[in-house]
Amino acid sequence: MSMVPTTTIRRRALPWSVIIGLGLALVIIILALAAPVIAPYDPMRMASGPRLSAPGLTHLFGTDEFGRDLFSRVLHGGRLSLGIGLTAVLTGILAGGLIGLIAAFSGRVIQSVLLRLIDVLYSFPDTLIALALVAFLGPGIGNATLAIAISLIPFYARVTYGLAAAERAKPYIEAAQLAGIRSARLVRVHVMPNITQSLIVMGTLGFSSAILSAAGLSFLGLGVQPPSPEWGGILASGRNYITKAPWILLFPGLAICVTVLSFNLIGDSLRDLIDPRRKSPS
């Protein structure tokens, strides 16, 4: 994913994929927020129904091995998964952004050391970094979120560096530097406003990758702890019922797919829009 700097999104009609993505994302966010109101049962209460009962009218998605209502669990799980994604991405953007800016506005030595480090870490897929970190930190929702946030830092550092370095090369910055304005102020007043838009777009991509990482960690038993209904966790604890009660795997899996898909669609298409290498006018 090569990051190329830009300043503005060209105004034109949003592509269909963005509209689909936005629509799906909106529905998912509303469902997650309204979970306590919509959910027919307490997601943690065992024996809400018979154990392992198939999807039906009383239990829309069926029940799990403890007779908990799966529909309620998937709804509440959305809050957890989206929450983890959001926290991780915000932390990742803040820390990564800072590192990227420092790299862009510091001397040659610090810059090349930082860039080298970022590149090395960036060569590791984020899921793998998160996995290694959580193996060391210990499991749990807090550690998992932290690990995912850290795993996103190289990505955002790299993006921010690219954006900021391009901004720095612009004549007005040079002029300002000649005028004796300090780097910190320059960044705050001039650079930041120009790159935030692109960072937000990149945020949606990091968001879907964070949700996948969280699910993967929970699947390996290193993420959110039971009985919390995080999607990956439901998959992990229900996977051995794949022949007996496949719905325990089906619905949380679909929830992950649709959520990640919607944010990927938004991020992917918007990135195409802001990518200035796209010379072709459409």
Partner 1 sequence: MLFLIAKRVLTAFVTVLTVIVLSGILIHVVPGDPVTAMMAQSVTATPEVMAEMRSQLGLDLPVWQQVVLYASHVLTGDLGTTIRGNEPVARLLFERLPNTFALAVSGLSVALLIGIPLGFLAAINRGRLADTAVMVIAVLGVSIPGFWLGLIMIQVFSLKLGWFPVAGSGYRNIVLPALTLGLTYCALVARMTRSALVDILAEDYIRTARARGLREHQVLFVHALKPALISIVTVVGLVFAYLMGGQVIVENVFSWNGIGRLAVQAMLERDYPMIQGFIVVFASSVVIVSMLIDILYGFLDPRMRQR
Partner 2 sequence: MRSRLRKTALRTSALMLSLGALLTTLPALSADLTIARSVDADGLDPQKASTTQSLQVTNLIFDTLLTMDKDGSVHPGLASEWSMSDNGKSYSFTIRDGVKCHDGSVFDAAAAKASVDRALDPATVNPNLSSWGPISGTSVDGKALKLTLSEPYGPFASFLTSIQAAFICPSSVAGSEFKPIGTGPFKFASWTRNDSIKLEANTDYANVNPLVKNPGKPHIDTLMLKVIPEAVARMAALRSGEVDMVEPSLEEAADLKADSNFKVYSAELSGQQMLAAFTWKIKPLDNPDIRKAIGMAMNRDAYASIAFEGLVNTSNCPVAPNLFATDEALCATWGVTYDPEAAKALMAKAGYGPDKPLKVKLLVHKLPGWDAMHQIMQQDLAAIGVEAEIETREVAAFFDHMKGVNEKTDGEPAVWTMGMSGVDPDYLYFLWKQPGFVNMGLNADVDAMLEEQRKLSGDARAAKIHEIQKYLMENAYAIPLLSPGWGWLMASTSKVDGFTMGFSASLIFNDVTKS
- Report the interface residues with partner 2, using CB under 8 A: 46, 51, 65-66, 138-140, 221-222, 225-227, 237, 239-244
What is d(CA 214, CA 195) in angstroms, rounded to the nearest whole number? 28
Nearer to partner 1, 25 or 173 (CB): 25
What is d(CA 20, CA 228) in angstroms, rounded to the nearest whole number? 30
Instruction: Quote the least distance from Cβ 30 to partner 1, whole Å.
Output: 20
- For the four alpha carbons of 96, 125, 122 and 276, in that order, the dihedral sign comes to negative
| Binding-site partner at residue 226 among partner 2, partner 1, none, CB < 5 to 8 Å by type | partner 2
Nearest 5°: the CA angle 202, 80, 44 is 165
**How crowded is the C-beta side of 146, counted as CA atoms within 13 Å?**
13
CA nearest neighbour of 196 among 165, 163, 150: 163
8-state DSSP, 10: P
- DSSP string of 35-46? HHHH-SS-TT-T
| Binding-site partner at residue 55 among partner 2, partner 1, none, CB < 5 to 8 Å by type | none
- Pick out residues in 3-42 that bind partner 1 (CB under 8 A): 15-17, 20
Instruction: Quote the least distance from Cβ 53 to partner 2, whole Å.
Output: 15
Q: Which of 54, 200, 242, 276 binds partner 1 (CB under 8 A)?
A: 242
CA dihedral 111, 136, 238, 148 (to 10 degrees): -20
CB 79 within 8 A of CB 224: no
Instruction: Quote the least distance from Cβ 43 to partner 2, whole Å.
Output: 12
For tokens 């809050």, the residue is 79
| Binding-site partner at residue 188 among partner 1, partner 2, none, CB < 5 to 8 Å by type | none
| Binding-site partner at residue 66 among partner 1, partner 2, none, CB < 5 to 8 Å by type | partner 2
**119 part of the interface to partner 1, by CB under 8 A:** yes
Which residues lie near partner 1 (CB under 8 A)?
1, 15-17, 20, 116-117, 119-120, 123-128, 131-132, 135-138, 208, 212, 215-216, 219-220, 232, 235, 239, 242-243, 246, 249, 253, 256-258, 260-261, 264-265, 268-269, 272, 275, 277-282
